[in-house]
Structure 1
Amino acid sequence: PHKNLDNFDFAFNPKMNRSLVFDLATGAFIGRHEDALFLGPGGTGKSHLAQAIGQAAILQGYKVLYRETHVLLEELADATLDGSRKRYMESVSTVALLIVDDFGMRKLPQTAAEDLLEIVMRRYERASTLLTSNRPVDDWGKLLGDTAAVGSMLDRLLHHGHVLKCGPRSWRTKTAAAD
Structure 2
Amino acid sequence: EEQRELLEIVEERYDRKATIVTSQLPVKAWHDAMQDPTLADAILDRLVHNAYKLELKGESMRRKRSMLDQKAETVTV
Partner of 1:128 in structure 2?
18
Residue 153 (structure 1) aligned to one of 29, 36, 43: 43
Structure 1's 146 and 168: CA in aligned 2 closer, same or farther, altered over 3 A? farther
Superposed, 1:1-179 pairs within 5 Å as: 111-178=1-68, 179=70
Give me the whole-angstrom Cα distance separating, in 2, the residues matched to 1:139 and 1:112. Answer: 18
CA RMSD across the alignment: 1.6
**Contact residue 140 and residue 147 of structure 1 kept, 8 A:** no
Tell me how many residue pairs correspond in the alignment.
69
Query: CA offset at residue 124 of structure 1?
Result: 0.8
**Contact residue 10 and residue 43 of structure 2 kept, 8 A:** yes
**Contact residue 124 and residue 156 of structure 1 kept, 8 A:** yes
More strand by share: 1
Q: Which TM-score applies when normalising by structure 1?
A: 0.35
Give me the whole-angstrom Cα distance separating, in 1, the residues matched to 2:9 and 2:60. Answer: 30
Higher gyration radius (CA) = 2
More helix by share: 2
Task: Name stretches of at least 5 consecutive residues in structure 1 with no aligned partner.
Answer: 1-110
Give me the whole-angstrom Cα distance separating, in 1, the residues matched to 2:25 and 2:32. Answer: 11
Partner of 1:14 in structure 2?
none
Task: Name stretches of at least 5 consecutive residues in structure 2 with no aligned partner.
Answer: 71-77
The runs of at least 4 consecutive aligned structure 1 residues that moved more than 3 Å come to none
**Contact residue 31 and residue 44 of structure 2 kept, 8 A:** no
Give me the whole-angstrom Cα distance separating, in 2, the residues matched to 1:158 and 1:136. Answer: 13
